[in-house]
Amino acid sequence: MVELKRAGLYESLHRGAIVLSDPTGRVEKSLGHPAMPTYLRSAAKPLQALPVIETGAADRFQLTDSELAVMSGSLNGEDFQVKAVRSILKKANLTEDLLDCGVHRPSHRPTAKAMLSQGIKPLPIHNNCAGKHAAMLVLCAHLGFDPKGYTEKGHPVQNLILETVAQLCDYPAEQIGQGIDGCGVPVFRVPLHSLAGAYARLAAPARANLTPERIQAVERLMKACLAHPEMIAGHERLCTRLMQAAPNRFLAKTGTEGSYALAIPELGLGVALQIEDGAMRALAPCVSEILHQLGILDHQLLDGELKDLHKPVLKNHRSQEVAQLSPVFDLDLT
């Protein structure tokens, strides 16, 4: 899938699988094993956010499109993202201390550096999953669930999310593998083609076997995410950069451990990717090449502003260019 060459000579290779699905779950194209078991990780976030719209919580608390998008994102902890999460909690009369996602420094280095220089300690709201956790707490507030233990498997909010994920993946809930994600909530394991199918249903819900109410909810969520790519990741992050390079054309969402998903409305396609060894460095070359082969990203973009994503150059500690990563696959779409 992605090859590393040093001095023009092969050094290593990242293998994996890619699946392209239509909204009915039909596999349009695949490379590698289409049923590769895959933990959705953060690629589940748009699916986990959907009940906020479907239950009426988004309307009740008058959530904006940017706030819906931040619920679907893996956040940098930048000030504008923190502000959005705080706004969500305030609208639902929730307090920050309810966030049970753990603490780490903002992923955005300038923000982390500024906080350190000012003696500001990171809080759960700086966590990259703070938006998702805010969504879960909003559901608790709207549906009357006790927020205590909201991160635990079996909590009513997690049962609702599991049901939603199962339906969108078109995969039986009882067969979905569950582990614990980095932020403490249940994380779901399904065949790779099921993830691709879920994202195809995000891309073209009217072509899937969904209720009218769910179609409207998906369309609203996608509109929000496509309008606010800065909320899906943040400055200098892969998802945001790709979406900003081709505005309003697709939703790009990283997982972790080498998983990734795309929802492409104009093609009615969902794409799921899993790098077998979990190497995150292989994602940018792979995803940008997929989008190129699908006709979304052109040569001008890949050779220009996205060159560092498509074919990243590795440098040593003397700033010498010593190696390069390149995608080495063909989806054979002709």
Report which residue type is found at 153. K
Q: For residue 12, what pLDDT is reported? A: 96
Beta bridge partners of 21: 27, 270
Q: How far is CA 148 from CA 109, 114, 123, 136, 177, in A?
A: 32, 33, 19, 11, 24
Tell me which residue of 63, 53, 49 sits closest to 92, measured CA to CA: 63
Q: Which domains does the chain have, with CATH numbers?
A: 2-327 (3.40.710)
Q: For residue 6, what pLDDT is reported? A: 96
Q: For residue 333, what pLDDT is reported? A: 86
Tell me which residue of 197, 158, 196, 148 sits closest to 179, measured CA to CA: 158
Residues of the chain with pLDDT under 50: none
| DSSP reduced 3-state for 180 | strand
pTM score of the predicted model: 0.96
- The three state secondary structure string of the chain is CEEEEECCEEEEEECEEEEEECCCCCEEEEECCCCCEEECHHHHHHHHHHHHHHCCHHHHCCCCHHHHHHHCCCCCCCHHHHHHHHHHHHHCCCCHHHCCCCCCCCCCHHHHHHHHHCCCCCCHHHCCCHHHHHHHHHHHHHHCCCCCCCCCCCCHHHHHHHHHHHHHHCCCHHHCEEEECCCCCEEEEEEHHHHHHHHHHHHCHHHCCCCHHHHHHHHHHHHHHHHCHHHCCCCCCHHHHHHHHCCCCCEEEECCCCEEEEEEHHHCEEEEEEECCCCHHHHHHHHHHHHHHCCCCCHHHHCCCCHHHHCCEEECCCCCEEEEEEECCCCCCC
Q: For residue 237, what pLDDT is reported? A: 98
Q: For residue 92, what pLDDT is reported? A: 98
Q: Whole-angstrom Cα distance, residue 21 to residue 18?
A: 10
- Structure tokens given for 280: 């995150």
